[in-house]
């Protein structure tokens, strides 16, 4: 430490040379290896001017350089930030070469990535979502707290999900067109090489694109931007994987203008915190860059990340009470091995070519082409395989189907037996004992049923199937950055992307069966049972497509322009964007229930998105800043929320339109040498959003009563389409850190928000068998409005607080502890239960025993208990010759607090009577389903750097 | 350009790369997560050690045991205090097509063999589990441990289940595998062949039978097994013998996979289980799968007299009755009528009625609604008509109904009936299909003309009959009304 200060002083006093123009230039090197560090963000604190060091670690400021005593701030992920005081004289040049940065041995990024992208609940299918990945590179104490301390609670910054953040790799957008969210698994296990991240928080200018309200993260994977050297890492954890091995080597920029980086990673484990959640992931990364000359550079990056994991289920409280929070219904033993029926596989390699062109000293043009292809598969057990019975008279029928293999199927749980046999509790007790003693999938019984069926020439009853998503996406963009004048920077980009997404069901394992007959075993008659009328009665084998098969085609063209103005007291920016989005479904099967609108292409949908944003920062003094910004954007709904029932037909969500998002924020920022703090108020409105979900509903009396619809069953699989949803988010966030002594830092963060539905959106349901009086399929049935207004959006805890400290010993060891409190976490409510259907009897009249007070109580939104989580982390590093050896360990939720992170109401009891009767039971049969946070878990990491 | 530096860097890089690759390959090899490839598990069923099950008893002993319990004033027989006892049985039902639900039907023989000490018998076992055929498929040999179970009557048949007071309850999912034990054997079950439905015995209940030479009643040929709007829980259709007048109701669940399939149109054999309907009101036949139906042979419908409708009606009246001279609410009599009850208590009677559902003066009617009959069959037969001696004979009547539902009114003729009630059923009866009879869907208040049915293409002497057949569900059957019956010649 003392040595560094000495170096600094020398630099400081050797730096005065006279030129006509005032200039600050210099370079940054690694404090240990003396290798130059590229992509270090250098900020002049008073004016907030920033610049990044180049591949040689060099930088220079030539415009509007402030005079007098100034402070340069050096920041880069993986390094401890540094501040260097300098003195600037008019017309002089400050040349401050070889500023040193220390590797951040605490390296919280590793910790963070293990809780985030590895987390079970971050997948699209659980309904939960984690935005922390967007925040990991932030330096802001609040956002870092949100990323590292709050992420295990599925806290969402400002209540917004990750759809509202944009994730770029080398400037190419990685948010999926299907869900709007980034697919973290696509670069999982490559932590060493996705470390170079640039994050722009909230509504702020960024050089690449318009971005969302949560900001933009650009992961820089240019080969020349990696520091020369290598790293080997081994980690062990009981969170998701058991073991992780990673190795990375970067050449740095060689004299020939070449640079390359290679990284390999493997993560594996038989079981994570939840039972039966296997982990199996391999990753590989290669980036090669050639600096052709001063002005041109060409980079190739290839990312391969194969990931296969066993998923964990949500459960009702009854199940948690019996089996605990680690229980997972989805696995069972086969041949003595745990076999999980719900495997999520992702394998979507990315290849990109990037061209960097310095058009002039003040203008750069970055052009990128990327191709991503591959597959995502989510497996599940199918229990409805049938066989074609051909009769002697030429007629035939489809016979078969099996029992639900889920050990928590409601008819197997004690609550069901208590309801059905209230006078004989011994039956419920017997069921409870059976569930306690086993409660897992019985694979052998499935094999047995299939094999004995095969003996008689029949097809498989049970099959392990996969819902597949095979995407091919081509992206192209061009990003222009130009310093128009001393004070004005222009950013502009054009973007194009074309996606072909093949969606289909596939057979993974026939479980000893002969074949699987591709018809819908639930259908009432033979004609609607066909999944593909063009190939009726097809028997499929392992690997074959079945049940549904369609392409979603999307094409997006966009443009973005932005101007940033920087003056001594005020910085401001203006930005605008326009996007054209086209969607089309192309059905490959002619579905028996929808023969006229399932095969072939759907209507082509076109959406126009417009965006405008503006903001200003007023620098009262270097210590006090005020920042105000606002944005409006309209955008195409995601593919997922566009097609009403895409597996079966070409129907489009009724009244579909662009989603509108408006937001504004105002911040006060305080910076002193000891204390840094930020207080922000924010407000966001989302309008005309759609939400589609899919489930089995009992009691959709409102449908049966609709005079235009001929549907006499009162229970069915349905798609629930919530259309025209408005939501309102507002609140405040606060972060503070104080370096009370050179070794001790205190930090605190708080977020208080109110995130609610802001209207009563329209509710439609769609499904098979909704036909009008002329037997034409009506596609979907309006159920009127769902009374959601003022209900809370299920957006994680709406209040979160954190307080903690970091101790950093000069002897290269460190320790940090935080206490975190969470409140106002709400359950995801069922819109169906809050529609008119709720009070409607089968004849279309209100229930004669409807009691408003009881109804209000039934419809009250459940708020989860507040909870308190303590996290600890500490580590040490050693230098051995040219090698660094580091170690750290963290324990999350040290106190083993049991808490719910999320949950949803089951839509199965869709009307007043059913819900009332179910709730009246001691243990509801269709109680809400929950996810619980993990208890105490550990993560240990050792690494060698060279 | 400094080549040496460059080379050096490359060398170093290669070294690291090799190191990395080696480490990586090693870890990949060493850390295989074994859950991708699963081989077929061994699902063979082990031989059962019968000595552990206790002593074996017979079906007939169970039947006696139940009778004994009844004699003792109990409603169920339990085995709680017996020494460990089991029975050996073969599964003859399958819920795979959804026509059986949460029950197993078992019998003690694999074929029609019978012996005095252990006669061929069947039982029902109630188990609260779906897809029982996954475990106990058709033909599977099983052993049932009796000590925790009870015998009682459920839906009219002897049933094994769990004791619950004076009732039996289903065996539950958590215990069934311990109580019903599988043998490795899956036997080939040969049905007992039934050539005469009337000869099915009480002992055939819950056993696997083959009805030979049968067909579906010709009035139901447009129907599905159980997919009609009027079918609730079960659809009932009539299987009739081609040999004689025997009939049996085919019961099909509305949850069966084949419920929407049209009934077999021809004649042949049908394999299934002989049982009682849910309410224990009548005998039924239940199939496991339509694969057990082989009815594509030629139908054995009665002979027909069909000459179409006549363009004119002669003036020579051979027979007529507008019932005005009959005594209201008394059986139709006189005027040459034969009014015969083949089964049940209901007969054609005269009646008058006003209002929407009015008679036409005095009219005739027949119906088994609320009769309490298990079966209602009634005949109203005209005097003999000589088709040889008369030219251009025509026949007409008017009919109406009142919610006729499952009942039928047939217009028949016989060329050989001797005029005695005793021989009504043994005579040959053919149908006169051209006569329009009111349909169930017609408005109950209206009367419908049959049309002037031409009989001129027939020969010999015939009697014309109106035959009413109730469905056997007397709570459900409706009524037919008749009037203005006339037979004319040129």
Q: What is the pLDDT of residue A121?
A: 40
CB A228 within 8 A of CB A252: yes
Q: What is the pLDDT of residue B28?
A: 56
Q: What is the pLDDT of residue A715?
A: 45
Q: Output the average pLDDT for chain A.
A: 87
Window from A305-319, A663-677, B9-23 with minimum mean pLDDT: B9-23
- Please answer yes or no on whether A431 and B172 come within 8 Å at the CB atom: yes
- Please answer yes or no on whether B172 and A430 come within 8 Å at the CB atom: yes
The ranges of chain B with pLDDT < 70 are 1-36, 474
Q: What is the pLDDT of residue A111?
A: 46
Q: How far is A402 from chain B (nearest CA, A)?
A: 5
- Please answer yes or no on whether A445 and B134 come within 8 Å at the CB atom: yes
Chain B contact present for A391, CB below 8 A: yes
Terminal-to-terminal C-alpha distance of chain A = 21
Query: Which residues, other chains included, contact A313 with Cβ-Cβ below 8 Å and sequence gap of 6+?
Result: A328, A329, A330, A342, A408
pLDDT digits (tens, 9 = 90+) for A442-460: 999 999 999 999 998 999 9
Q: What is the pLDDT of residue A117?
A: 37
Tokens describing residue A356: 């960097």
Window from A107-111, A745-749, B66-70, B122-126 with minimum mean pLDDT: A107-111
Does residue A297 have a pLDDT over 80?
A: yes
Interface test with A, best of B12, B22, B24, B37 (most A CBs within 10 A): B24
Q: How many angstroms separate the Cα of A6 from the Cα of each of A812, B73, B276?
A: 20, 107, 102
Q: Is A654 exposed, middle or buried (0-12, 13-18, 19+ CB in 10 A)?
A: middle
Share of chain A above pLDDT 90, in %: 53
- Please answer yes or no on whether A249 and B227 come within 8 Å at the CB atom: no
Averaged pLDDT, A819-836: 92
d(CA B427, CA B396): 23
How many C-beta atoms surround the C-beta of residue A779 within 10 A? 21
Query: Looking at the DSSP assignment, which residues form a beta bridge with residue A403?
Result: none
Q: How far is A742 from chain B (nearest CA, A)?
A: 37
Does residue A5 have a pLDDT over 50?
A: no
d(CA A67, CA B151): 102
Please give the residue of chain A at the shortest CA–CA distance from B10.
Answer: A251
If contacts are CB pairs under 8 Å, which of residues 447-486 in chain A contact chain B?
447-449, 451-453, 455-456, 461
Does residue A798 have a pLDDT over 50?
A: yes
CB B448 within 8 A of CB B384: no
How many C-beta atoms surround the C-beta of residue A896 within 10 A? 11
Work out the pLDDT band at A2, boundaries 50, 70, 90. Answer: very low
Work out the pLDDT band at A522, boundaries 50, 70, 90. Answer: confident
d(CA A478, CA A355): 9
Q: Which helix (H) or strand (E) holds A244?
A: strand A243-250
The rounded Cα A140 to chain-centroid distance in angstroms is 21
d(CA B412, CA B393): 16
Q: Which helix (H) or strand (E) holds B66?
A: helix B59-71
Query: Looking at the DSSP assignment, which residues form a beta bridge with residue B250?
Result: B237, B285
Q: Which helix (H) or strand (E) holds A319?
A: helix A317-323
Tokens describing residue B361: 């003066």
Q: What is the pLDDT of residue A569?
A: 87
The rounded Cα B56 to chain-centroid distance in angstroms is 34
Q: What is the pLDDT of residue B482?
A: 92
- Name every chain B residue with its beta carbon within 8 A of the beta carbon of A335: 38-39, 41
The position carrying tokens 């019985």 is A442
Does residue A857 have a pLDDT over 80?
A: yes
Which one-letter DSSP state was computed for residue B51? Answer: G
Work out the pLDDT band at A4, boundaries 50, 70, 90. Answer: very low
d(CA A821, CA A385): 49
d(CA B137, CA B95): 9
Find the CB nearest A400 among B40, B227, B257.
B257
pLDDT digits (tens, 9 = 90+) for A140-180: 889 888 888 887 788 889 999 888 989 999 999 999 999 88
Averaged pLDDT, A743-770: 90
> What SS3 state is found at A529?
helix
- Please answer yes or no on whether B290 and A389 come within 8 Å at the CB atom: yes
d(CA A7, CA B263): 98
d(CA B16, CA A946): 10
Tokens describing residue A831: 């819109």
Q: How far is B35 from chain A (nearest CA, A)?
A: 6
A256 backbone dihedrals φ, ψ, rounded to 5°: -75, 5
- Please answer yes or no on whether B131 and A268 come within 8 Å at the CB atom: no
Q: What is the pLDDT of residue B36?
A: 62
Does residue A127 have a pLDDT over 70?
A: no
d(CA B225, CA B229): 12
Work out the pLDDT band at A547, boundaries 50, 70, 90. Answer: very high
Please give the residue of chain A at the shortest CA–CA distance from B224.
Answer: A525
Q: What is the pLDDT of residue A17?
A: 40
d(CA A259, CA A178): 35
pLDDT digits (tens, 9 = 90+) for A51-103: 888 888 899 888 778 888 888 888 887 788 888 888 888 878 888 888 888 77
Q: How many angstroms separate the Cα of A123 from the Cα of each of A128, A303, A643?
A: 7, 20, 21
Q: What is the pLDDT of residue A45?
A: 82
Nearest to A664 by CA among A142, A208, A215, A202: A202
d(CA A702, CA B179): 44
Q: Is B93 exposed, middle or buried (0-12, 13-18, 19+ CB in 10 A)?
A: buried
Indicate the pairing of strand B157-164 with strand B122-126. parallel
Does residue A348 have a pLDDT over 80?
A: yes
CB A487 within 8 A of CB A532: no
Q: How many angstroms separate the Cα of A190 from the Cα of each of A181, A873, B11?
A: 19, 22, 24
Share of chain A above pLDDT 70, in %: 90
Higher pLDDT: A528 or B85? It is B85
Q: What is the pLDDT of residue A105?
A: 59
Work out the pLDDT band at A19, boundaries 50, 70, 90. Answer: very low
Q: How far is B101 from chain A (nearest CA, A)?
A: 12
Chain B contact present for A337, CB below 8 A: yes
Tokens describing residue A666: 């105002």
Interface test with B, best of A452, A529, A711 (most B CBs within 10 A): A452
Q: Which helix (H) or strand (E) holds A290?
A: strand A279-291
Buried-state track A321-343, b at ≥16 Cβ within 10 A, e below 16: ebbebbbbbbbbbbeeebbbbbb
- Name every chain A residue with its beta carbon within 8 A of the beta carbon of B98: 399, 401
- Exposure on the CB side of residue B109, measured as CA atoms within 13 A: 20
Chain B contact present for A230, CB below 8 A: yes
In chain A, DSSP finds a helix count (H) and a strand count (E) of: 12, 47
Higher pLDDT: A90 or A556? It is A556
Q: How many angstroms separate the Cα of A637 from the Cα of each of A172, A464, A554?
A: 20, 32, 12
d(CA A890, CA A113): 13
Averaged pLDDT, A785-798: 93
- Exposure on the CB side of residue A850, measured as CA atoms within 13 A: 14
């Amino acid at each position: 430490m003392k040595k560094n200060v000495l170096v600094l002083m020398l630099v400081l006093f050797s730096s005065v040379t006279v030129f006509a123009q005032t200039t600050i230039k210099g370079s940054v090197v690694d404090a240990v290896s003396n290798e130059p560090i590229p992509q270090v963000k250098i900020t002049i604190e008073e004016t907030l001017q920033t610049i990044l060091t180049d591949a040689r670690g060099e930088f220079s400021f030539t415009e509007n350089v402030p005079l007098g005593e100034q402070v340069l701030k050096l920041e880069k992920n993986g390094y401890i930030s540094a501040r260097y005081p300098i003195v600037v004289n008019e017309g002089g040049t400050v040349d401050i070469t070889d500023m040193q940065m220390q590797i951040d041995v605490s390296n919280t990024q590793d910790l963070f990535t293990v809780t985030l992208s590895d987390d079970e609940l971050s997948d699209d299918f659980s309904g939960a979502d984690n935005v922390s990945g967007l925040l990991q590179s932030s330096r802001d104490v609040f956002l870092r707290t949100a990323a590292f301390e709050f992420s295990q609670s599925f806290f969402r910054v400002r209540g917004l999900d990750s759809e509202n953040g944009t994730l770029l790799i080398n400037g190419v957008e990685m948010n999926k067109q299907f869900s709007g969210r980034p697919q973290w698994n696509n670069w999982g296990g490559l932590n060493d090489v996705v470390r170079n991240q640039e994050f722009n928080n909230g509504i702020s200018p960024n050089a690449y694109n318009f971005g969302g309200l949560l900001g933009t993260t650009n992961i820089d994977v240019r080969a020349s931007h990696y520091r020369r050297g290598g790293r080997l890492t081994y980690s062990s954890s009981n969170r998701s994987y058991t073991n992780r091995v990673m190795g990375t080597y970067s050449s740095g920029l060689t004299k020939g203008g070449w640079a390359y980086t290679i990284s390999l990673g493997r993560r594996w484990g038989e079981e994570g915190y939840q039972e039966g959640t296997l982990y199996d992931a391999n990753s590989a990364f290669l980036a090669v860059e050639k600096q052709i000359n001063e002005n041109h550079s060409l980079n190739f990056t290839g990312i391969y990340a194969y990931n296969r994991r066993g998923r964990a289920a949500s459960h009702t409280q009854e199940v948690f009470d019996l089996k605990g929070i680690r229980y997972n219904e989805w696995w069972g033993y086969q041949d003595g091995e745990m076999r999980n029926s719900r495997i999520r596989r992702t394998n979507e390699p990315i290849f990109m070519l990037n061209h960097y062109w310095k058009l002039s000293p003040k203008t750069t043009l970055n052009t990128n082409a990327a191709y991503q292809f591959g597959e995502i598969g989510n497996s599940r057990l199918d229990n409805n395989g049938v066989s074609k019975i051909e009769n002697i008279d030429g007629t035939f029928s489809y016979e078969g189907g099996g029992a639900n293999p889920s050990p928590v199927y409601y008819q197997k749980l004690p609550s069901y037996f208590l309801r059905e046999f209230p006078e004989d509790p011994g039956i419920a007790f017997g069921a409870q004992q059976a569930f306690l003693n086993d409660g897992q999938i019985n694979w052998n019984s499935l094999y047995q049923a299939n094999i004995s069926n095969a003996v008689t020439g029949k097809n498989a009853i049970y099959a392990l199937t996969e819902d597949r998503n095979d995407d091919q996406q081509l992206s192209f963009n061009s990003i222009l950055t130009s310093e128009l004048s001393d004070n004005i920077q222009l950013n502009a980009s054009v973007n194009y992307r074309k996606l072909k997404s093949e969606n289909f069901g596939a057979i993974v394992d026939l479980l000893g069966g002969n074949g699987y007959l591709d018809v819908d075993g639930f259908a009432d008659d033979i004609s609607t049972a066909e999944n593909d009328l063009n190939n009726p009665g097809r028997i499929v084998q392992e690997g074959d497509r079945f049940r549904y098969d369609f392409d979603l085609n999307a094409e997006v063209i966009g443009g973005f322009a932005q101007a940033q103005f920087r003056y001594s007291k005020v910085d401001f920016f203006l930005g605008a964007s326009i996007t054209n989005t086209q969607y089309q479904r192309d059905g490959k099967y002619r579905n028996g229930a929808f023969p006229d609108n399932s095969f072939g292409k759907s209507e082509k949908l076109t959406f126009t998105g417009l965006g405008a944003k503006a903001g200003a920062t007023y620098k009262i003094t270097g210590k006090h800043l005020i920042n105000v910004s606002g944005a409006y954007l309209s955008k195409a709904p995601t593919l997922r929320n566009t097609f009403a029932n895409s597996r079966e037909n070409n129907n489009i969500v009724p009244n579909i339109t662009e989603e509108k998002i408006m937001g504004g924020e105002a911040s006060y920022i305080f910076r002193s040498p000891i204390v840094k703090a930020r207080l922000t108020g924010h407000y966001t409105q989302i309008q005309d959003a759609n939400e589609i979900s899919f489930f089995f509903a009992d009691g959709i009396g409102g449908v049966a009563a609709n005079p235009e619809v001929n549907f006499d069953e009162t229970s069915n699989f349905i798609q629930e389409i919530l259309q025209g949803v408005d939501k309102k988010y507002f609140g405040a966030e606060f972060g503070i850190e104080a370096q009370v002594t050179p070794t001790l830092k205190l930090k605190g963060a708080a977020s208080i928000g109110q995130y609610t539905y802001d209207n009563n959106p329209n509710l439609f349901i769609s499904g098979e068998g909704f036909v009008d009086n002329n037997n034409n399929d009506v596609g979907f049935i309006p159920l009127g409005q769902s009374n959601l207004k003022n209900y809370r959006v299920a957006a994680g805890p709406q209040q979160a607080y954190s307080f903690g400290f970091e101790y950093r010993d000069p002897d290269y060891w460190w320790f940090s502890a935080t206490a975190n409190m969470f409140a106002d976490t709400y359950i995801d409510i069922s819109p169906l239960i809050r529609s008119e259907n709720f009070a409607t009897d089968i004849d279309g009249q209100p229930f004669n025993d409807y009691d408003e007070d009881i109804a209000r109580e039934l419809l009250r939104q459940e708020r989860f208990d507040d909870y308190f989580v303590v996290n600890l982390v500490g580590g040490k590093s050693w230098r051995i010759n040219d090698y660094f050896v580091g170690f750290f360990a963290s324990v999350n939720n040290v106190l083993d607090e049991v808490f719910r992170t999320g949950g949803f109401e089951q839509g199965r009891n869709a009307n007043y009577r059913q819900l009332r009767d179910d709730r009246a039971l001691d243990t509801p049969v269709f109680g809400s389903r929950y996810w619980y946070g993990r208890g105490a878990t550990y993560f240990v990491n050792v690494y060698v750097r060279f | 350009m400094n080549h040496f530096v460059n080379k050096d860097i490359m060398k170093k890089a290669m070294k690291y790369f090799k190191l990395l690759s080696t480490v990586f390959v090693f870890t990949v090899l060493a850390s295989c997560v074994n859950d991708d490839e699963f081989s077929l598990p061994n699902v063979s069923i082990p031989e059962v050690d019968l000595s552990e099950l206790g002593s074996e008893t017979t079906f007939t002993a169970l039947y006696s045991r139940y009778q004994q319990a009844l004699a003792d004033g109990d409603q169920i027989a339990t085995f709680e205090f017996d020494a460990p006892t089991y029975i050996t049985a073969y599964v003859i039902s399958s819920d795979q097509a959804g026509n059986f639900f949460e029950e197993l039907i078992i019998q003690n023989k694999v074929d029609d063999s019978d012996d005095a000490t252990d006669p061929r018998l069947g039982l029902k076992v109630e188990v609260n589990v779906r897809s029982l055929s996954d475990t106990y498929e058709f033909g599977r040999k099983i052993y049932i441990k009796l000590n925790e179970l009870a015998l009682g009557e459920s839906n009219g048949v002897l049933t094994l289940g769990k004791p619950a007071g004076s009732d039996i309850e289903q065996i539950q999912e958590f215990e069934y595998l311990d109580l019903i034990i599988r043998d490795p054997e899956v036997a080939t079950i040969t049905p007992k062949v039934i050539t005469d439905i009337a000869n099915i015995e009480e002992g055939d209940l819950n056993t696997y039978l083959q009805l030979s030479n049968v067909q579906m009643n010709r009035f139901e040929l447009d129907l599905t097994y159980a997919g009609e709007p009027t079918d609730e829980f079960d659809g009932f259709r009539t299987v009739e013998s081609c040999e004689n007048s025997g009939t049996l109701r085919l019961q099909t669940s509305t949850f069966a996979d084949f419920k929407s399939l049209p009934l077999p149109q021809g004649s042949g054999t049908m394999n299934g289980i002989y049982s009682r309907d849910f309410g224990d009101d009548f005998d039924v036949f239940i199939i496991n799968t339509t694969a057990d139906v082989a009815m594509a042979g030629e139908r054995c419908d009665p002979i027909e007299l069909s000459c179409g409708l006549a363009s004119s009606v002669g003036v020579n009246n051979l027979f007529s009755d507008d019932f005005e001279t009959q005594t209201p609410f008394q059986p139709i009599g006189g005027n040459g009528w034969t009014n015969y009850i083949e089964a049940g208590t209901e007969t054609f009677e005269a009646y008058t009625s006003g209002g929407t559902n009015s008679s036409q003066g005095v009219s005739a009617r027949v119906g088994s609604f609320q009769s309490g009959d298990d079966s209602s069959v009634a005949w109203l037969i005209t005097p003999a008509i000589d088709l040889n001696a008369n030219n251009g004979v025509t026949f007409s009547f008017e009919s109406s109904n009142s919610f006729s539902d499952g009942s039928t009114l047939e217009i028949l003729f016989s060329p050989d009936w001797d005029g005695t009630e005793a021989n009504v059923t043994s005579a040959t009866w053919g149908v006169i299909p051209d006569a329009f009879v009111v349909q169930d869907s017609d408005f109950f208040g209206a009367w419908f003309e049959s049309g002037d049915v031409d009989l001129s293409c027939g020969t010999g002497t015939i009697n014309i009959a109106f035959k009413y057949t109730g469905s056997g569900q007397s709570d459900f059957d409706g009524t037919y009304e008749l009037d203005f019956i006339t037979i004319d010649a040129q």
